[in-house]
Chains A and B, each alone.
Chain A
Amino acid sequence: MRIHARCTQVVSEKQKVGNQNIPEVHGPRWTYSRRGYALAQSLRQLKRFKLASLGTLLVLGITLSLPFILYFASATLNTLSQRSLQGESLTAYLDTAISDLDGAQLAKTWHAQPGIERAEYISREQALAMLSEDDDIRAAIDVLGVNPLPGAIVLYPQTNNINAGDIESMARSFGDLPEVARVQLDLRWVRRLEAVVSLVKWIGGLLAAFLTLTALLVIANTIRLELSRRRAEMEVASLLGASTHFMNRPILYTGALYGFLGGLLSCIIALITLNAISTPADELSSLYQSTFTLTMPEPSQILLVLGVSIILGLIGAVSTLNHPSRLLTHNG
């Protein structure tokens, strides 16, 4: 029959072609493993839709930059109120019955207590000498005829991991001692600063949470688009016996890739921003005679931020996946 004759001719043609040398026509070796394929597909999609990918990455970078700026600056904010306590002291006025010897001994004892950086004893005579430098006060004391001033111990608390509340409670505990007549402490402005810092941290935290959620939605939406673009490939993969893991892997890699690149971009934006505001911050600090400086993030902080970004990307991808392979398999 004519159709059989044609078949025989086709076979001989195919055998001829089959015997020829076969050129190397494949892509890079790594792209033919399951994981390599997934990564190659993710990178290919980024490359294929350059403008759309760049737009998404810019949105992610800008969105994530504020939370990361706040995170990078949080260490500085934490130290701000502590640094404001530097040089602060509380003065414990001793009972007039306490002798200089006992007062000096008490200062030594208190110095040994935890949380105390330094304790200086000021005797009644030293206090009198200091006040006598002012002529009017010296005249007043001369009229009295006796030294009315008590001995005092000036305590300088350690400012590491301590706040105004801790110092106030320290003042109360010293004030309760029988040797102490009164403790003087004025930390109202530190309290105000702490309240402002706390408010800034709360607002910043909420903003960071909203912006992180926005980034998550952006990633999820991008992955949803990616899924629709890859639908044909996923259907074919399903028909060829691909597992759910195989079909999901490129999507997860895409999510992680967007997270990583978005995080990297946001780190760059954050570093540029911090660098730009560090000079005015230093000027402000010097106006208040403060040692406060805006510190740049540590490499470990940057790595943490990148890790968090990747996890955000993965969460965005996972939230979108919802086992599409199974839907394709049984509904298609």
Chain B
Amino acid sequence: MIAFEHVSLEYRPGRYALKDVSFKLDSGSFTFLTGHSGAGKSSLLRLTARLAIPTNGDIQVGNIVYSRLGKRQEAALRQQMGIVFQDNQLLHDRSVFDNVAFPLIIGGYRFDDIKVRVNAALSKVGLSDKAREQPITLSGGEQQRVGIARAVVARPKLLLADEPTGNLDSEISAEIMQLLMHFNASGVTVLFATHDETLLNAFAYPRLKLAKGELDVAGRSVIERAPAFKGRAANANTRKVHASG
């Protein structure tokens, strides 16, 4: 479950990346996060991953309320998430295997576990035969699949995808989408930021639409009131997006 309660992110006095955003996503849901460039999609994902701290409001992911999170717990929180980036953020000084193994090394997994999990993740994205390669030798789509393998290798409960198909053609985008749907089917909550209308029209998933940093109720989202955080007063502006779309 992801819940935003009156979350604002002010990057300069009076200039908001996000303004008073409230919503709730169920566990195991697949949600598109849409909006034009600069609408605040990346900011919302960064806030969800605790890569940025909201100016106002609070965020809850699962049982974790971010305002009560200690500095040390932030890193542990991110280990429980998978993040896929538009520019894939692969490290080009090491092999595909080592790129995918990186989150597991960070997580302190044993070598035997790392071997099994990396091979399984690469198998899932169809890149077992590329494990020894350097990322630079792979195509854009393959690199993005490596990024996805790295995001899911630690078996996260939440997968955040920031325009993962932004630099890819429609066929490769479909591959990437298929992979994310595959992980969603196994119970992973997916929040997929995109402004690709073709993709949005092809898949009937619920949408969170952002416009100029504010949540837009238009589009295909179905919004209703959501329960407030434990110990906090409910607010009329808190919204919930149904997985039914």
Interface of A with B (CB < 8 Å)?
1, 3-4, 6-7, 10-11, 13-14, 17-18, 20, 22-23, 25-27, 29, 32-34, 37, 44, 48, 232-233, 235-244, 246, 326, 329-330, 332
A241 in contact with B76 (CB, 8 Å): yes
CB-based closest 7 A-B pairs? A241-B78, A18-B123, A241-B79, A14-B126, A7-B178, A25-B131, A25-B132
Assembly CA distance A22 to B96 (angstroms): 14
B124 in contact with A25 (CB, 8 Å): no
Q: Could you pull out 5 A-B pairs where Cβ atoms are within 8 angstroms?
A: A3-B177, A3-B202, A34-B105, A232-B91, A243-B76
Given contacts A20-B128, A27-B98, A242-B106, contact A6 B175 (CB under 8 A): yes
Measured CB to CB, the nearest residue on chain B to A29 is B111
Q: How many residues of B contact A (CB 8 A)?
A: 56
Q: Does B119 contact A (CB under 8 A)?
A: yes
Stretch of B15-23, B47-55, B232-240 with 4 or more beta carbons under 8 angstroms from chain A: B47-55
B115 in contact with A243 (CB, 8 Å): no
Interface of B with A (CB < 8 Å)?
49, 51-53, 71-72, 74-81, 83, 85, 89, 91, 93, 95, 97-98, 101-108, 111, 114-115, 118-119, 122-129, 131-132, 150, 170-171, 174-175, 177-178, 181-182, 198, 202
Residues of the B chain whose Cβ atoms lie less than 8 Å from the Cβ of A241? 75-81, 103, 106-107
A7 in contact with B174 (CB, 8 Å): yes
Interface centre among A17, A29, A37, A232, by most chain B C-beta atoms within 10 angstroms, is A17
Interface of B is mostly: helix
Q: Smallest distance from the beta carbon of A229 to chain B beta carbons, Å?
A: 10
A4 in contact with B124 (CB, 8 Å): no
A22 in contact with B91 (CB, 8 Å): no
Given contacts A17-B126, A18-B123, A18-B126, contact A26 B175 (CB under 8 A): no
Q: Smallest distance from the beta carbon of A179 to chain B beta carbons, Å?
A: 78
B98 in contact with A242 (CB, 8 Å): no
A26 in contact with B115 (CB, 8 Å): yes
B178 in contact with A237 (CB, 8 Å): no
Given contacts A25-B131, A32-B101, A33-B111, contact A239 B83 (CB under 8 A): yes
Report which of A4, A32, A232 forms a contact with B111, defined as CB distance below 8 A: A32
B123 in contact with A22 (CB, 8 Å): yes
A239 in contact with B101 (CB, 8 Å): no
Residues of the A chain whose Cβ atoms lie less than 8 Å from the Cβ of B131? 22-23, 25
Q: A22-B128, A241-B76 are in contact. List 7 more A-B contacts (CB 8 A).
A: A23-B132, A232-B91, A240-B150, A241-B75, A241-B78, A243-B106, A330-B53
Residues of the B chain whose Cβ atoms lie less than 8 Å from the Cβ of A22? 119, 122-123, 128, 131
Measured CB to CB, the nearest residue on chain A to B151 is A240
B126 in contact with A240 (CB, 8 Å): no
Interface centre among A48, A237, A240, by most chain B C-beta atoms within 10 angstroms, is A240
